[in-house]
Amino acid sequence: MPHTLALITGASRGIGAAFAEALPAETGLLLTGRDEARLAARAERLARPDRTVETRAADLATEAGREAVIDWARQFPVDLLINNAGLGRLGPFGENPAATERAMVEVNVLAPVVITRALLPDMLARARPEARAGVIIVSSVAGFQPVPFMATYAASKAFDLHFAEALAQELSGAPVDVLALCPGATDTDFFDRAGMAMEALSLIATPERVARRALASLGRTTVCLPSTKNRLTSVIGRYLPRGVVVPGAGRMMRGMLDRREG
């Protein structure tokens, strides 16, 4: 069923922008991200006379940015929350900038928790069986196992996955659907910002496909793995011994790091 108004974090580009494009025209949009110009351009393209489209530039790595988004969103009847904003960084934990490691936790872990906690009570109060609310938390296939050289990122995405699954169970009797979206390699600028070579990866999905699969899965399942490759990766991470999975992931990421440094 179409939602009335969606708040999308990290909507400047990538999967967040694809969510904005994929939602039905009758769903209003609150778009937040760090790139004000991109947000404004997207809002101008998606706006129509009978549709609310608002933007707010904010950095979710800061408490001020998170609180600004919460205060703004509380002015609207949000019934779909898409916690999409995320950061990653390839490199040895002890060599990555401390500020970058902290920002990953602030954006990937703290932001979904505090924004969801702030908005969910009112979402539930407005929801009805025939007009359900929805929460999508963007995790990653990296959340199914430890990933050396992306230690904080993978750990943060494991948190997102477990948080979404637990929240879905807690709210199983309420008129709200909760989904953990766990994409793999997706054609966005995440890799450039994370210091990774995208050409080293195979079977890269489009953000449009990932967003559409997530929206189609909301209310039908709790965890969405958008492709067969993603599902296989999750099985490896969950069921093979850690003594096999972690060294294997380390060798793969070490190879990516060597390509970057070479």
Active-site entry in 12, 139, 140, 156: 139
3-state helix, strand, coil in the chain (%, to 5): 50, 15, 30
Could you give the 3-state DSSP secondary structure of residue 202?
A: coil
Q: Is 227 a catalytic residue?
A: no
Q: Which residues pair with 177 in a beta bridge?
A: 134
Q: DSSP string of 78-131?
A: --EEEE-------S-TTTS-HHHHHHHHIIIIIHHHHHHHHHHHHHHHH-BTTB
Q: Is 153 a catalytic residue?
A: yes
Cα-based distances in Å from 129 to 87, 126, 205:
35, 10, 34
Taking each continuous run of H as one helix and of E as one strand, the counts in the chain are 10, 7
Active-site entry in 157, 217, 227, 234: 157
CB 228 within 8 A of CB 234: no
Q: Is 239 a catalytic residue?
A: no
DSSP state of 34: S
Block residue for tokens 């933007």 = 55
| Catalytic center residues | 139, 153, 157
